[in-house]
Amino acid sequence: MPPQNRIPRATIDSWRVELSNWNRVDAFRNRVDEIVRPLSRSIFFGQAGLAFLRDAWIAGRVASALSSDLVRLSPAERPDFEIQASGLVQQFEATEADRDGRRRGDERDGPELKPDPVEQWRERFEAIPAALDRVVTKKIRKHYPPGVGLVIYVNLGCYGAHLDEGLPILQNGTAPAKDKFSVILVMWEGAVYKLWEDGRPVLRKWPYTRMEEDL
């Protein structure tokens, strides 16, 4: 199959404008999936100007998990997205924690079946602290205004094998940002976890998956 053509600038701009309008959560999430699923990995992760689609993917799942009424990408440059529930708007910055140096644009497309031994699950799990440190440090340096929340998508799944062991690691790894953001959420193993709120540790969990694969 020949490589997918690059997405035209006009199309990218139209997607960005469309997703910056308030929409019902299910409609927003379905539209994001409709846009993202046909894209090859090389385009989605390799073409400049498409990072907002990852933010929209995260936004739809967070809004769904938190039973929000409406969601949109932020029309401003920062933060990344907004959700609305019972008339109250919450702004969020979104980021992703993954293995250092991973180049997903070079990975193969399609549901290729290949061995994934338990040892690799453990390797991914042990990569979480360093991955969190990288993204948390970067976000702290940007000095967001009061009231903005932080969402970290931890793309280091272990099929639930290390869940109990992992939650304290997630909370400790995000602690440096607890006074910089109004709330800190982490997406991991198919759920959204609230770990910090107003500088205090909390632990709440909401599922976000729907029989789908992560990015």
Per-residue pLDDT tens over the stretch 65-75: 999 999 999 99
CA trace torsion 35, 23, 54, 151 (10° rounding): -160
Report how far residue 78's alpha carbon sits from residue 178's, in angstroms, rounded to the nearest whole number: 19
Between the alpha carbon of residue 33 and those of residues 26, 39, 124, the distances in Å are 11, 10, 26
In the chain, where the domains are located:
9-207
| pTM for the structure as a whole | 0.88
Return mean pLDDT, the chain: 88
Give the per-residue pLDDT at 107.
47
CATH code of the domain made up of 9-207: 3.40.1540
Evaluate whether 196 touches 202 at the Cβ level (below 8 Å).
yes
Instruction: Tell me the percentage of the chain whose pLDDT exceeds 70.
Output: 86
Give the per-residue pLDDT at 116.
58
For the cut 50, the answer to whether the pLDDT of residue 1 exceeds it is no
